[in-house]
Chain A
Amino acid sequence: MTGTDPTRRRLLAAAAVLAAGLLLPVLGPAGWVNTAILTLLFAYLCLAWNIVGGIAGQFCIGHSLFVAAGAYTSTLLSLSFGVTPWVGMIAGGAVAALIGVAIAWLSLRYELPPLSFALVTLALGMLGYLLASTLDVLGASRGLALPIRGTPAMYQFRDDVLYYYVILAHVAAVLLFTIAVYDGRLGLYLRGIRDNERAALGIGIHVLRYKMAAMGISAFFTALGGTFYAQYLQFVEPHTFAGLTLVIEVILFTVVGGIGTIWGPLVGPLLLVPLGETLRAGLGDQTPGLHLFIYGVLLVTVIRFAPQGLVGLAGQVKSRIHIVLERVTP
């Protein structure tokens, strides 16, 4: 069996998922659009984080830096020089990729153990947050507001459905990238590094370079998501964009979905974000925090009882069914 078989199956599955996504505006319930946008945004950020955090196995808690890099870069370029955020987002991606590669190089060239790497990225993320809250050029704690021009050329849409299509395209891009790369050399090497770094070194893989690549790619994608979020909210401010909350949610959703798998980062947000929004709509008004509390309890429960995530659980169920079928069929 060649490696293209699973890849082809996955591409077909992805096509099906994306087709469903395209049909959602037609078939979806009323008022669906904002929840859908949020869901896909998280799916996008989770898929991007998964490249370095799941597939390469480098647990990075600093992705707030990349979200902020994307959002602030494109916004500043737009405000100061009138550069359209479509171009600005590429610039933001480049900035983020540079930061990501630098972080990876600095911390991993001395073979920092995984926990310490997580802490370094966490500390750098916090520093980024503090910088964003203080520097006036970044708007300090008030943030920056985007002028409402409403032209698609400037990455602003009157109709929210268009935002939906944009983020759907982003998800498609990163999902297809992940599938294409997963069984290819990049994916295999990254997973090899994740599963047994010493063995990878032993067979001559340039571990550091691949870790840097994973960080750079993940950072680039994440930054594009930051720009999207800024354009969607029409403002940038430190708490949302540079703060820890977003990153922790992304990590938790990915873990629940299935860290390191292809579909986990998609499944997690797909289930949890609409759930969260529903809880908030139903319960959020009377008692602030109740919906998030239930959310948190669900997260802890899944982590406790299904450490391989929902995708892993599905895989177990599938093999169990296979075993039963094998016994039953002659």
Chain B
Amino acid sequence: MPLDIIAQATVQGLLMGAIYALMALSMTLIFSTCGLLNFAHGDFMVLAMFGAMLVYELTGADPYLSAPLVVPALAGIGALVFVHLVRPVLAGGALAGAQLTLGLVFVQQNLLLMLFGGDQRNVQTVLSNRHLEAFGIVLPLPLVVGSACAVVLAVLLYGMLMATDFGRQIRAIAQNRDAAALMGIPLRRVQTLAFALGIGLLGLTGVLTVAQFSVTPSSGLDFTLIALIVMVFGGLGHFIGSLIGGLVIGVAEGLGSLLLGGTVGAMIPYLILVLVLLFRPHGLLGEK
């Protein structure tokens, strides 16, 4: 196998990995503050993607431009879902919350099915069908831009978590909820905001990658699983872990597909998840 093809797959895997990392980061944000494993995570992203497509179909505006509309809408939906559905159920335990999100998967997938039909959708943006060439590697421009934005967003998220009061409160809740409460941190308000932020971030990820993926209403669970695998691999709740995990999973999937075939490549992330959970459940960088 020629080296430049391997290099191509690796770089593409890295770029994809950055996007996976961002998906995992928003899931981590929600998991560490609210204690919720959100099976409907990917479906929110698909919702945003369909929103972007809808804006395009109605106004002809480039899907990227729909972000100012789609992202706040998604954050708002997230806040409402959290306050009225998730939080009351979470009082009965994390498993109950997970069950609710399974129900939400059902709702969202079929809502989109109703509104948009089941066909696979592709949408063109101003960047589609353009490529970036560097060092003999040809990369789709939407992927490069999406990936670069993912990195920027991750850095911004990191800055927020480290340097703002709100970010510190989030980290405090993630590390010791009782102690955080004792500080007078308004748990419910921070959790709601963190949830909305996570979903909004996810929406932004969706808008940025709408040209990269072709989506159907049922794609949500696939995205959820990828985010889950990255999150577990990197160590539950560990920021840098999710970043590294995303890159690793991205490259593993890309190279695996190249060297071993498409379906085996698709299996690799799940194999990684099983192996991690069985032999290193706290993930790469997490603590026991």
Contacts and interface: CB of A to CB of B under 8 A. Distances in A.
Direct contact, A vs B (beta carbon within 8 Å): yes
Given A115-B37, A123-B273, A303-B99, A134 B114 contact: no
A288 B103 contact: no
23 contacts: A114-B95, A119-B232, A123-B270, A123-B274, A124-B274, A127-B267, A127-B274, A133-B263, A251-B102, A252-B102, A252-B103, A255-B99, A289-B109, A289-B111, A289-B113, A292-B110, A293-B110, A296-B108, A300-B103, A300-B107, A303-B96, A304-B100, A307-B96
Contacts of A296: 103-104, 106-110
Contacts of A124: 270, 274
Contact of A293 (B92, B100, B114): B114
B255 interface: no
A211 B46 CA distance: 37
Contacts of A288: 113-114, 117-118
A299 interface: yes
Given A123-B273, A255-B99, A293-B110, A300 B281 contact: no
A256 B111 CA distance: 21
Nearest to A114: B95
The size class of the interface chain A forms with chain B is 35 or more
B281 A248 contact: no
A307 B92 contact: yes
A59 B99 CA distance: 10
Nearest to A115: B37
Interface in A88-106: 106
Interface string A213-226: 00000000000000
Interface of A: 59, 106-107, 110, 112-116, 118-120, 122-124, 126-127, 130-131, 133-134, 244, 248, 251-252, 255, 287-290, 292-293, 295-297, 299-300, 303-304, 307
Chain A binding site: helix, strand, loop or mixed by DSSP? helix
Interface residues of B, number: 42
Interface string B209-235: 000000001000100010011001000
Contact of B271 (A127, A133, A307): A127
Interface of B: 37, 85, 88-89, 92, 94-96, 98-100, 102-114, 117-118, 217, 221, 225, 228-229, 232, 263, 266-267, 270-271, 273-274, 277-278, 281
A13 to B, nearest CB: 27
Q: List the 7 shortest-distance A-B pairs measured between CB atoms, nearest first.
A: A289-B113, A296-B106, A296-B107, A293-B110, A292-B110, A300-B103, A289-B110
